[in-house]
Each structure stands twice: as structure tokens, then as C-alpha cells.
A and B are shown apart, each in its own frame.
Chain A
């Protein structure tokens, strides 16, 4: 099956092209089937390839080339792909959850005028994302990086008639691009100091690249800036909540499971660089932890069901970066997968709710939906339990692993743990707030909506069920040692990948303090995690079921809640202090351009006009003058011959 692995890349591209050229005339069902199979078939190929590759024992990647791309002197970059544990892991997530979301879209987007177009963009997105994770060099990853940015723009602004959606698409793309500057700088530095962009070449060149070692923190920081943009960390997270203007499947696929995790993936792929860059890694960890808590607090007061989920995504991404920052790469990737399951599940569930409620998204107009939509309610509950960190659901294992590794980190470890701990409390609270406001309590549903309220069709509920299974049981891949001896499948799975970093660290003579916490501390931390989660749930229950609290209307927020409800006015601050001065500078430069540069160009034309105007006076039309010109010409020739010789 590994021979056929190129189909994994090609089939989404084919789906994009076929649907893209024929989308105006194509039958809707056919378009959907093409779109779904373009992602589902690669999923099955990947599963088969997984068995053939035998990741638990394989130590070397499988490479293949699709197309030669750039051959400029000694700089060679190809459409070449590297199949190893890390890329297989990501590919399974992308194609697996991707195909479920494609199936979901068939039901969700039913009746939408742009139904065919949706699948075109989705397939293009899958193609770009696969290039990102499967590429064997930094340039191909950057291609995929930009490609998913473009698709994000296209999909967020899918209802391009709505100005809120169009603006959100632009905001997402521009904010991403700001981060991409850092990514590009990182690529340049890597190429400059190691002479290649292909991962295997770079990693083998690293032990000897001593100048690179001097600047390794800057390189890691540059790459991290790219991750900040793509994965919505502070300060470039502002696009993700606005991106909820896109259709819900888009939010589930792109802004929960795959695109936003590209930053985390990048750090995992470049783990030699990050393992050796201690200062940058500390910075990453701090950013992740602060973002986790910060975003969680904003989620406390949101009333739009998708906005709550958006801020929770930012928060959970913060946890992933916290893990990558303290060097717990396996924990970060673990949380990436569990988050993909339960966040996609919850987004799709919210989509089911929104679909049934005729595009009502405000939680203040919901309530007691569990009586109407049983499957959605149960699956959503599973997702919420997972994110809150209740065992035995998956979120508990991954989040707990992160917090434990953070605690054991030298220096600021306990501080990071504290931030993450508070974040866990907040997460549990606001997620259950969402569940209680939506599915429990008094019905605040509008009359007309209530008439048509029923469970969503199978195309919507089937993915929910599959994802719920994943959200429930995926955590069992990595269980701590203290619990029944533990399961370390993921540790062994990722060992060949992350040992590359350890080799480089050793070659450069960097000593890392070992993470070691005693078993008793581990158990204590675990108990605290569960306890704090349960505390959050009980608090939410008290407020929103016991007291039946409902968030007030928009004007009803006062004081600190008002600040938090308005996202700490961060967008307004950016607008006033960054965007407005930039626009003024651009206007001034545009004026300068018009005056001087356009003036110079026009001036050249005017110069020639003036010249020709004076020259045309030679043609007087009087024959005598022409005779004079003849004589003058003859005279010049004669003089030349006389003085210079023939």
C-alpha cells in the first residue's frame, strides 16, 4: 500500500479539479460523493499503509517524489513526501476526521446555493493540509501552510454576500500572513546555516552547524511566530473567534482539528531545533499557558455557542503549546489528537443544534434541547466531559499528561502548572455552562423554531457518533504508569521522531535537566485535576441549573463582565494603535507615489513631447531650407573626410 501512497496526495487534488471545473453544472449528490471519496479513499490507504509501515518498529521514513519542482543551481526542492510516524499520525487525523466532516457537510449544507463550491474548497484544503504534513522539506510545508490559509479565507468567507463573513475571511488571512513572515525567516535561516531545506538533510547537518547553534533561539522564535499566527496564540489569536462566521463544518475541520494544529505539528517536525532552543521553548510554554487561561476567561461570558467553542479552541491550543514548550512533545501530539476528536465533535454537535434551530446561534434562545435531540445531546456531553478532563474520557489523559510534564519542568514549571490548573477549572466551568444553557433548563426557544425542532438526519448524526467513540476511548493510547501499569503506545510510536532532537541536543553538548516527579506527586496532580474539573462542573450546575441563571442581553453586561464579554476590547486596541497608523502611513506613501513616481513617468513622456515639438520645426515645407540642409550635410561629410582621412 505504501506504493499507492501518492494517491493520498493526488486524490484530494483530483477531487478539487473535477469539482472545481464542473461545479456549476454538476449534480449535488455527485459533487458530494466526489468530495467525500477524495478524502475517504486516502484515509483507507493511510490505514493500510500504517500497517505496512509498522510504525512501532520502523526507524526510517519512507520517501517518494511526485514531481520535480525547483531546481535552481544547487537549490533543489521537489514535491517529495516523507511517510513516517509523525506524518502518518497527522494524515490519519486529517483524512479520518476530514471524511467524517465531508459526510456531515452533505447534510448540513443541503439546500445551500454554494453546495458544490463548498466541496471544491474542502478538497483543496485537504490537499494543502496533506502537503503540509507529508512534505519532506520546509518549502513544501510552507506551500501547504499558505494553501490552508487561502482555503481558510475561502471557506470562512463562503457566504461572501455577508460582509461579516467576508471581513472575517480577510482578517484570518492577513493575521496568518503576519505570522508567516516569521516562518519564512526561519526557513531562510535554516537554509543559510545548514544548506538545505529537506528535513533529513537539515537534521543530519545540525550536529556540525555550530554557527546555527549560536542563533538557534532566534530561529526557533521565528518559526514560533509563524505558529502564533496559524494556531491563534497571543497576540495573533484575534482571527479565530471571527472565523466562526463561516459554516460550522468549516469551523470543525479547519479551526478545531487540522489547520490550527499546524503550528503544533511544525514544532514537532522541527523538534531538533526546538529541543536545543531552551529560551525560545520557555517563551513558547509561557505563551501557551497564558493563552490557555486568557482565552478561557473570555469564554466565560460569551453567548454565541460557536464563539464559546472558538475560545475554547484557542485555550486548548495554548495547552498544546505549553506541552511543546516544556519539551513534552508526545503529550502535545496526544492532546492534538484528543482535541481533534472532541472539539470536532462539539463543533459538529453545535452545528446540529444550529441546523435544527434554523440557524439560531445564541444560547440565550435555547434550553432543554435534550428532549428534542437525543443523539446530539449525548454525543455533545461526551465531548464536554472529555474537554473538562473527566476520566476515563480522552481529554483527561492528554491534559493530565501535559500538566504533569509542565509541573516537572525546571524553573517555571510549577507556575506553568498553576496557570494550566486555573485554565482547567475555567474550561470545565464554561463548557458545562454551555451544555446546561443549551440542553438543560427552561426552554427559551422561539415559537416557530420549536415547531420544526427535531433530531438532525443521519448524515449529521453519524459523524457525531463516530467522533464520540474516538473522544471517549482515544485516551487509552497513553496512560500514566501509576494507573494499572500504564500504556505507552504513543511514547513508543513517536520515539524515532523525537529521538532526532535528542541526538542533536547531545551533539551540541546541551544538558537538559530531567523531568522527574515522584509517583506520589503524580497521583496528587491527577487527583487535583479531576477534583478541579468536578468543581467546575458543580459550580456550573449550581449557577445554570440550580439558580437557572441566563446571561443577560448584550446591554445587560456591566463592569468586569462587560470587559470580558467584549474580549477585553483587544480588537479595538489593535484597530486604534496598530491598524490606523499603518493605514495612515500607507495613504501618505500612496500620495508620494502618485506625485513623484507617476510624475516621473509622465514627465518622461512630456519630455519627449517637448523635444519632438521643437524638432518638428525643422520641417518648414520651404524647399530652400531643405536645400540648405543638403549643403550642410555635404559640408559635414567633406570636413570629416578632409580632417580624419577617408
Chain B
């Protein structure tokens, strides 16, 4: 446990981690779905903070923009649209299958925890400021070098990982089309819809 709390970063990490944990538990334990949604938003913000502490600025920004700004908004729309009511009671302990599931979960958690805690990599140097370099043509001294987190991520996406990028765009198109088709209203023959 070597946290130098004199520096701001470890302290910030602890705060953000605590908030994140608390709100995650709140997500699953709240009966009211709206409160669940709001606590999830809170945990996303905390996570973004953690990313910032880690100096992954681009991702932190993306987290706030995409997750909280788009996905959670969509979720809250759906909750409001469907007028979801509170769950009557938490039926965790009634179903024996679910009891077994909980046991398995605890063990799973323990396993993952073991892996995380026993992790002992070698110590090396990490670059505090990120940089990224890409050789357009092998052999010749024609390359692209960028520095800075956002620039590195952008350059890597469009140079090394161009194909997955394009495929993701196709995937998004398909998802949008699918969502529209699934949620479409029926033909207006039936006046009750």
C-alpha cells in the first residue's frame, strides 16, 4: 500500500473510486429505476474522473460525451416513456437457482480479485507524455510522429486500426436501422396502438 496521499492524484483516485463503487451498488440495489439510472450517471462521471487521473484525457471526454450524454439520456427517455413502476420486492432469496447464482458470483469475484491482487509485473519506465509513431513506408525515413494523448489515439485509430474503425461505422448503421425497425409502430389499422 504505497499511496502517497501528499500528491493529488492518489487522493483523487480514492475519492473517485469510492464514489464509483457506491453508485454502482446503488444501481443494482435501488428499487426505483430512475434512481438506478441517475446513480449510473454518477458512476460514469466518477469513472471519467479516474480516467483523467490516469492521464487518458481523450477517453475521459468520450466517456462523458457518449456514455452519460447519449446512452444514459436514451435510457432515461425509455424509463419515462414506459412509465416504469417500482419493483415490488427484491426476489433475490426466493429462487434456489438464483441462490446458486449468487454463490457462483462470489466465487467468480474472488477469482478475479485474486488475479488482480497477485499481479506482479516487472517494473519499467512509462512515458508520462504519450507519443505515437507510425511508419508509412518501411525502410525509408517517412513516418508520422505525434505527441499528446488525443493525437496519439486519433493517429492510431486512423492509421493502425483503420479497418476496425470502418467496420464499426457499418455496425452503427446496422444498429440504427435495427433499432428503428424493432421499435416501429404497427400499421395504423388498429386504432388502439
A and B touch in the complex (CB under 8 A): yes
Given contacts A638-B111, A639-B111, A642-B111, contact A631 B105 (CB under 8 A): yes
Contact A635 B104 (CB under 8 A): yes
Write the B85-128 contact mask toward A (1 if CB under 8 angstroms, else 0).
00000000000011011001101100100010000000000000
- Closest chain A residue, CB of each to CB of B108: A635
Contact A625 B97 (CB under 8 A): yes
- Minimum Cβ distance to chain A for residue B53 (Å): 29
* Of the residues B97, B100, B105, B108, contact of A638 by C-beta under 8 Å: B108
Interface residues of B, dominant DSSP: helix
A624 at the interface (CB under 8 A from B): yes
A632 at the interface (CB under 8 A from B): yes
A623 at the interface (CB under 8 A from B): no
CB contacts (< 8 Å) of B104 on chain A: these are 631-632, 635
- Bound together, the chains give a CA A620 to CA B108 distance in angstroms of 24
Contact A631 B98 (CB under 8 A): no
- Bound together, the chains give a CA A301 to CA B174 distance in angstroms of 107
Q: Output the residue of B97, B100, B107 with the most chain A CB within 10 A.
A: B97
Contact B98 A628 (CB under 8 A): yes
* Of the residues B98, B100, B105, B115, contact of A642 by C-beta under 8 Å: B115
- Bound together, the chains give a CA A75 to CA B101 distance in angstroms of 68
Write the B150-188 contact mask toward A (1 if CB under 8 angstroms, else 0).
000000000000000000000000000000000000000
Docked complex: A345-398 residues within 8 A CB-CB of B = none
Interface residues on B, range: 10 to 19
- Bound together, the chains give a CA A624 to CA B101 distance in angstroms of 10
- Bound together, the chains give a CA A148 to CA B133 distance in angstroms of 99
CB contacts (< 8 Å) of B108 on chain A: these are 631, 635, 638
CB contacts (< 8 Å) of A639 on chain B: these are 111
Contact A635 B98 (CB under 8 A): no
Q: Output the residue of A628, A632, A639 with the most chain B CB within 10 A.
A: A628
- Bound together, the chains give a CA A564 to CA B115 distance in angstroms of 104
Given contacts A638-B111, A642-B115, contact A624 B105 (CB under 8 A): no
Write the B131-154 contact mask toward A (1 if CB under 8 angstroms, else 0).
000000000000000000000000
CB contacts (< 8 Å) of A624 on chain B: these are 98
Contact B111 A628 (CB under 8 A): no
CB contacts (< 8 Å) of A632 on chain B: these are 101, 104
Contact A628 B101 (CB under 8 A): yes
Write the A593-634 contact mask toward B (1 if CB under 8 angstroms, else 0).
000000000000000000000000000100011001001100
CB contacts (< 8 Å) of A631 on chain B: these are 101, 104-105, 108
Write the A270-307 contact mask toward B (1 if CB under 8 angstroms, else 0).
00000000000000000000000000000000000000
CB contacts (< 8 Å) of B111 on chain A: these are 635, 638-639, 642
- Minimum Cβ distance to chain B for residue A264 (Å): 84
CB contacts (< 8 Å) of A628 on chain B: these are 97-98, 100-101
Docked complex: B55-102 residues within 8 A CB-CB of A = 97-98, 100-101
Docked complex: A505-529 residues within 8 A CB-CB of B = none
- Minimum Cβ distance to chain B for residue A636 (Å): 10
CB contacts (< 8 Å) of B100 on chain A: these are 628
- Closest chain A residue, CB of each to CB of B102: A628
- Bound together, the chains give a CA A585 to CA B177 distance in angstroms of 79
- Bound together, the chains give a CA A632 to CA B101 distance in angstroms of 8
- Bound together, the chains give a CA A620 to CA B101 distance in angstroms of 15
CB contacts (< 8 Å) of B115 on chain A: these are 642
CB contacts (< 8 Å) of A625 on chain B: these are 97
- Minimum Cβ distance to chain A for residue B104 (Å): 6
- Bound together, the chains give a CA A642 to CA B114 distance in angstroms of 11
- Bound together, the chains give a CA A635 to CA B109 distance in angstroms of 10
- Bound together, the chains give a CA A635 to CA B108 distance in angstroms of 7
- Closest chain A residue, CB of each to CB of B100: A628
- Minimum Cβ distance to chain A for residue B110 (Å): 11
- Bound together, the chains give a CA A625 to CA B96 distance in angstroms of 11
CB contacts (< 8 Å) of A642 on chain B: these are 111, 115
CB contacts (< 8 Å) of B107 on chain A: these are 635
- Bound together, the chains give a CA A28 to CA B154 distance in angstroms of 103
- Closest chain B residue, CB of each to CB of A618: B97
- Bound together, the chains give a CA A632 to CA B97 distance in angstroms of 11
- Minimum Cβ distance to chain B for residue A440 (Å): 104
- Minimum Cβ distance to chain B for residue A412 (Å): 92
- Bound together, the chains give a CA A191 to CA B111 distance in angstroms of 73
- Bound together, the chains give a CA A397 to CA B108 distance in angstroms of 107
- Minimum Cβ distance to chain B for residue A641 (Å): 11
- Minimum Cβ distance to chain B for residue A635 (Å): 5
- Minimum Cβ distance to chain B for residue A10 (Å): 78
- Bound together, the chains give a CA A624 to CA B87 distance in angstroms of 15
- Minimum Cβ distance to chain A for residue B101 (Å): 4
- Closest chain A residue, CB of each to CB of B115: A642
- Bound together, the chains give a CA A625 to CA B97 distance in angstroms of 7
CB contacts (< 8 Å) of B98 on chain A: these are 624, 628
Docked complex: A333-352 residues within 8 A CB-CB of B = none
- Bound together, the chains give a CA A319 to CA B55 distance in angstroms of 122
CB contacts (< 8 Å) of A635 on chain B: these are 104, 107-108, 111
- Bound together, the chains give a CA A620 to CA B107 distance in angstroms of 25
- Bound together, the chains give a CA A638 to CA B105 distance in angstroms of 13
- Bound together, the chains give a CA A71 to CA B111 distance in angstroms of 68
- Bound together, the chains give a CA A625 to CA B108 distance in angstroms of 17
- Minimum Cβ distance to chain B for residue A623 (Å): 12
- Minimum Cβ distance to chain B for residue A61 (Å): 86
- Bound together, the chains give a CA A502 to CA B67 distance in angstroms of 112
- Bound together, the chains give a CA A379 to CA B182 distance in angstroms of 106
- Closest chain B residue, CB of each to CB of A635: B108
- Minimum Cβ distance to chain B for residue A494 (Å): 93
- Bound together, the chains give a CA A628 to CA B111 distance in angstroms of 18
- Bound together, the chains give a CA A632 to CA B107 distance in angstroms of 11
- Minimum Cβ distance to chain A for residue B92 (Å): 11
- Minimum Cβ distance to chain A for residue B147 (Å): 36
- Minimum Cβ distance to chain A for residue B159 (Å): 30
- Bound together, the chains give a CA A642 to CA B108 distance in angstroms of 12
CB contacts (< 8 Å) of A638 on chain B: these are 108, 111
- Bound together, the chains give a CA A244 to CA B98 distance in angstroms of 85
- Minimum Cβ distance to chain B for residue A617 (Å): 11
- Bound together, the chains give a CA A635 to CA B107 distance in angstroms of 9
CB contacts (< 8 Å) of B97 on chain A: these are 620, 625, 628
CB contacts (< 8 Å) of B105 on chain A: these are 631
Task: Show 22 residue pairs from A and B whose CB-CB distance is below 8 angstroms, ordered by the A residue.
Answer: A620-B97, A624-B98, A625-B97, A628-B97, A628-B98, A628-B100, A628-B101, A631-B101, A631-B104, A631-B105, A631-B108, A632-B101, A632-B104, A635-B104, A635-B107, A635-B108, A635-B111, A638-B108, A638-B111, A639-B111, A642-B111, A642-B115
Q: Which residues of B pack against A, CB within 8 Å?
A: 97-98, 100-101, 104-105, 107-108, 111, 115
Q: Which residues of A pack against B, CB within 8 Å?
A: 620, 624-625, 628, 631-632, 635, 638-639, 642
* Contacts beyond the supplied A624-B98, A635-B104, A638-B108: 5 A-B pairs with Cβ under 8 Å: A632-B101, A632-B104, A635-B107, A635-B108, A638-B111
| Nearest 5 pairs of A and B residues by beta carbon | A628-B101, A635-B108, A625-B97, A635-B104, A632-B104
